[in-house]
Amino acid sequence: MRPLGEDSSPAIEVRGLRKLYGQTVALHDIDFDVRRGEIFAVLGPNGAGKTTTVEILEGFRPRDGGTVKVLGQDPFRAGEDWRARIGVVLQTTGEFEDLNVGEVVRHFARYYPDAQDPDALIDRVGLTEKRAARASKLSGGQQRRLDVALGIIGRPDVLFLDEPTTGFDPASRRDFWQLIRDLAAGGTTIVLTTHYLEEAEQLADRVAVIVGGRIVDIGVPQTLGGRDTEATVVSWLGPDGPRTVHTTTPTKFAADLHASLGGEAPGLTVHRPSLEDVYLQMIGAAATPTAVTTEDR
């Protein structure tokens, strides 16, 4: 992986990306950039075009229009040197059940000119105690850690993660999130697709929402879809029963309420719009009939 300071250009540049399946348009001239060292989440309902977009970025699928550059090259035409700089963690692997963790990682290390030390990598992803365990005996969270080890064994500059924590329990999911943060802190650019809104909010520097093959918004999780300007719901128990007010200045309103009551407001709750709230608004407003692909459609 190259130091971030060597190149200030985006890790990924997409302009006018278009994809057709027969006569149906799956991607409608989409544009976006991903900065180097950024965690960039791609959200959208099933059929939105997430997987199609990511597969084009990975070089697995051709496009029908526009330009795409990943690390300065066209992914579909790039050679082995480029592929050695890309890591991909798919939703499922499961091809090495009869090998143990150490054997699988050492096997993959042979494919890369500058692979990480397999034993050190096993330690890094938290599988030290499972080094001799068969892959088929790993838990879901441990299997995902092995998947990530295989995705980063070649020291990738860009790592693609497709629904990385599906099936995780809450504790395993949070452990995995820390692993992803550590990778990003080390300079790896990460493109993440997920159905977990909390995951995107916890990890992503920026989020893109795709609906019907179009990007409807891109921004930091805290301001996506105008979330920071949406009205906040303040509720409390007044003398005559429950009260609810929608306000864009909840802190001031709560302070004024405290003053007017001469103390605490019984049952006070303040609900700011969550990422899930604005996401559901966006996909509801933008949803249109869309093409289907082998998985994402």
User: What is the residue-wise DSSP string for 80-107?
Assistant: HHHHTTEEEE-S-----TTSBHHHHHHH
- Is residue 168 assigned to a domain? yes
Q: How many domains does the structure of the chain reveal?
A: 2
Indicate whether 173 and 211 sit together in one domain: yes
Indicate whether 113 and 258 sit together in one domain: no
Whether the predicted pLDDT of 249 surpasses 80? yes
- What pLDDT, on a 0 to 100 scale, did the predictor assign at position 38? 96
pLDDT-based confidence at 276, cuts 50/70/90? confident
- Mean pLDDT confidence for 68-88: 94
pLDDT-based confidence at 286, cuts 50/70/90? low
- What pLDDT, on a 0 to 100 scale, did the predictor assign at position 90? 77
- Cβ of 95: how many Cβ atoms within 10 Å? 9
- Is residue 296 assigned to a domain? no
Give pLDDT tens digits for 90-126: 766 567 778 999 999 999 999 998 899 999 999 988 8
Find the domain containing 255 and state its range. 231-272
CATH number at residue 153: 3.40.50.300
- Is residue 92 assigned to a domain? yes
Q: What is the DSSP letter of 265?
A: P
Indicate whether 248 and 121 sit together in one domain: no
Indicate whether 166 and 281 sit together in one domain: yes
pLDDT-based confidence at 294, cuts 50/70/90? very low
- Is residue 185 assigned to a domain? yes
- What pLDDT, on a 0 to 100 scale, did the predictor assign at position 200? 93
Asked if residues 18 and 36 have their Cβ atoms less than 8 Å apart, the reply is no
- CB under 8 Å, gap of 24 or more: what pairs does 129-132 form? 130/101, 131/100, 131/101, 131/102, 132/100, 132/101, 132/102
Indicate whether 218 and 240 sit together in one domain: no
- What pLDDT, on a 0 to 100 scale, did the predictor assign at position 96? 77
| Least confident piece of the model among 102-111, 162-171, 178-187, 248-257 | 162-171
- Cβ of 63: how many Cβ atoms within 10 Å? 22
- What pLDDT, on a 0 to 100 scale, did the predictor assign at position 2? 46
- Is residue 291 assigned to a domain? no
The separation between the first and the last C-alpha atoms of the chain, rounded to the nearest angstrom, is 33
- Cβ of 46: how many Cβ atoms within 10 Å? 12
- What pLDDT, on a 0 to 100 scale, did the predictor assign at position 154? 92
Cα(160)–Cα(56) distance, integer angstroms: 12
Indicate whether 247 and 199 sit together in one domain: no
By DSSP bridging, strand 86-89 and strand 158-162 are: parallel
- What pLDDT, on a 0 to 100 scale, did the predictor assign at position 145? 86
- As a whole-number percent, the residues of the chain with pLDDT over 90 amount to 52
Indicate whether 63 and 103 sit together in one domain: yes
φ and ψ at residue 78, rounded to 5 degrees? -70, 155
- Is residue 45 assigned to a domain? yes
- Is residue 171 assigned to a domain? yes
Indicate whether 64 and 140 sit together in one domain: yes
Indicate whether 239 and 179 sit together in one domain: no
Whether the predicted pLDDT of 1 surpasses 60? no
- What pLDDT, on a 0 to 100 scale, did the predictor assign at position 143? 86
Q: Give the total residue count for the chain.
A: 297
Cα(282)–Cα(286) distance, integer angstroms: 6
- Is residue 297 assigned to a domain? no
- What pLDDT, on a 0 to 100 scale, did the predictor assign at position 164? 84
- What pLDDT, on a 0 to 100 scale, did the predictor assign at position 7? 62
Which amino acid is located at 157 in the chain?
A: D
- What pLDDT, on a 0 to 100 scale, did the predictor assign at position 42? 95
Q: Which residues share a beta bridge with 236?
A: 243
Q: Measuring CA to CA, which residue among 152, 126, 138 is closest to residue 97?
A: 138
- What pLDDT, on a 0 to 100 scale, did the predictor assign at position 289? 45
Indicate whether 118 and 207 sit together in one domain: yes
Cα torsion at 207, 208, 209, 211 (round to 10°)?
Answer: -170
Cα(48)–Cα(26) distance, integer angstroms: 8
Q: Supply 289's token pair.
A: 């009939």
Indicate whether 268 and 282 sit together in one domain: no
Mean pLDDT of the chain: 87
Q: Measuring CA to CA, which residue among 84, 120, 87, 88 is closest to residue 105?
A: 120
Whether the predicted pLDDT of 179 surpasses 90? no
Give pLDDT tens digits for 27-48: 999 999 999 999 999 999 988 9
Whether the predicted pLDDT of 129 surpasses 70? yes
- Mean pLDDT confidence for 233-252: 89
Indicate whether 216 and 236 sit together in one domain: no
Ranked by mean pLDDT, the top range of 42-46, 236-240, 274-278 is: 42-46
